[in-house]
Amino acid sequence: MSLFGSLSVARAGMSATGARAQTASSNIANVSTPGYVRRETVLSQSGATGVTVTDVSRSQDRILVQSRRDAQSQSARSEVINSVLSRALSAFGEPGSEGGVFGAFTQLESDLQALRSTPESDAAQLITVDSLKDLTRALTDASQDLQLERTNADARLATDISQANDLASDIFELNSDIRTADANARDTTALLDQRDQLLDQLAEKLPFDVIYENTGAVQVRTGSGLILVGATVNQIEFTPANKVGPLDTTTDLGGRLSIPTIDGQPIAPGSGAHAVTEGRIAAYLELRDTTLPKQSEALDAYALELASAFDALGEPLLLDNGAPVDPLNVLGLSQRLTVNPLVDPSRGGVPSRLRDGLAAAIPGAPGNDTLLTQLADTLAPFSDKLSIVISDVSTTSLRAERIHSGNLAREITLSEAEAELSAVDLDYELQSLLAIEQAYNANARVIQTISDMLDTLARI
């Protein structure tokens, strides 16, 4: 090789090592920057023996990233469901607990047994009436808590959809910036980092597939092919409700609760071919429209059965807002159940009617426990019935917790695998700088040697 050929190779080597040093320095400087993906300088052969810098690439496995985002969507959904169901379970109470419906029912059982032992006790009569009122309040509170969770789910659904739409718009704008930078041969890696952070945030809202263009821009589609980000942005359409009540259903069932759509296609779980089943949006829809209504229905059915059991004795102790309970008007009954004012002293009633019967005009025999025994026997099976209702809620809650633990573990595992590939390893970068320095010095020595040789030739 001629002296000038060697000089050209050394100069190209110095330029390449300079670019590598700049990349390594950038990696080190951004070791703690959220969303930063480690860069690598891509070199290729130039001519017979030279080298040139062709690109600065990001160390990223797109398949791994997609898998981690899918796991992120699953984890986000299960986290929401687990959190809400844990709160719902506390409203019901659990066997052995003092709070919730079960605690109130257990107290009523205990007080009724005490009254049965001392039917002449005015204090025991009053305590039992109060316990009966506490049970109706506990049923009301539990039902209202479930409806509040539905209302909150609808509101948070609206928030997440609004955020998803904003993220889609921002991704669309970044696509334009990436295409422009690529067309003008400018570095796009920082823009790609920003874009990927937005995609990561969007994955918490709903799952999607990413289609990459040669420029680095992306199309974002749901698993069924609905386009969120493409030539335009397709907004998720949704109208929030101010409040969700026990009678409220979705618009496809003739109700007023909105179903989100993309390009006119419903995406709620169970809504058809374009249903979205993971992410926070799917979680709030599932809770609002399926899980929480089922729990409310179970509570209402329990309230109806309890009230009907007292009716069967001819002693309607429980009423529907002051009227007889109608088996055809069950939805929301647990919120409307009240104690018959005939036994409630705060409403002009007489507690001794628990012992003597609601129709008693005057107090009966003080020691008569016949009706109290019938009431206690009627009430006895409802402990097991309530346990079944609460067991279903508890099982659903525990299943949600178990699913979330598994989803979270998978997300963490994939995130760690991604970080091993894409995160900056400070030790590796420092070692690279040492190797780059050695390569730079070697090329510099070649140039200096050739320069000395040319000076020598010039002096001959």
199/217 Cα distance (integer angstroms): 12
Average pLDDT over residues 212-239: 95
What pLDDT is stored for residue 142 in this prediction? 93
pLDDT in tens, 37-69: 998 887 777 666 567 777 788 889 999 999 999
Residue-range domain boundaries for the chain: 3-62+415-459, 65-414
Locate 373 and state its tokens. Answer: 């025994």
CB-based contact 102:92 (threshold 8 Å): yes
- Which of 326, 325, 361 minimizes the C-alpha distance to 342? 361
Residue position matching structure tokens 């030539």: 231
356/29 Cα distance (integer angstroms): 85
Q: Side by side, which strands form the sheet with 265-266? A: 236-237, 261-262, 265-266
pLDDT in tens, 348-374: 999 999 999 998 888 889 999 999 999
Q: Indicate the range of 18-22, 95-99, 228-232, 282-286 predicted with least confidence.
A: 95-99
Average pLDDT over residues 386-390: 88
What pLDDT is stored for residue 441 in this prediction? 78
Average pLDDT over residues 440-453: 77
What pLDDT is stored for residue 450 in this prediction? 76
What pLDDT is stored for residue 207 in this prediction? 96
280/203 Cα distance (integer angstroms): 9
Is residue 451 scored above 90 in pLDDT? no
Q: What's the Cα-to-Cα distance from 191 to each of 136, 160, 181, 208, rounded to whole Å?
A: 59, 24, 9, 20
Half-sphere exposure of 244 (CA within 13 A, CB side): 30
Integer-rounded Cα radius of gyration of the chain = 36
What pLDDT is stored for residue 33 in this prediction? 87
What pLDDT is stored for residue 10 in this prediction? 65
DSSP helix, strand, coil percent of the chain (3-state; round to 5): 65, 10, 25
Which percentage of the chain shows pLDDT scores above 90? 64
Is residue 96 scored above 70 in pLDDT? no
What pLDDT is stored for residue 211 in this prediction? 96
Query: Coil, helix or strand for 458?
Result: helix
Cα dihedral 137, 143, 148, 149 sign: positive
Average pLDDT over residues 379-389: 90
pLDDT in tens, 117-130: 999 999 999 999 99
Q: Indicate the range of 5-19, 204-218, 264-278, 396-410 predicted with least confidence.
A: 5-19
pLDDT in tens, 198-213: 999 999 999 999 999 9
Q: Which residues contact 263 (CB under 8 A, 6 or more apart)?
A: 226, 227, 234
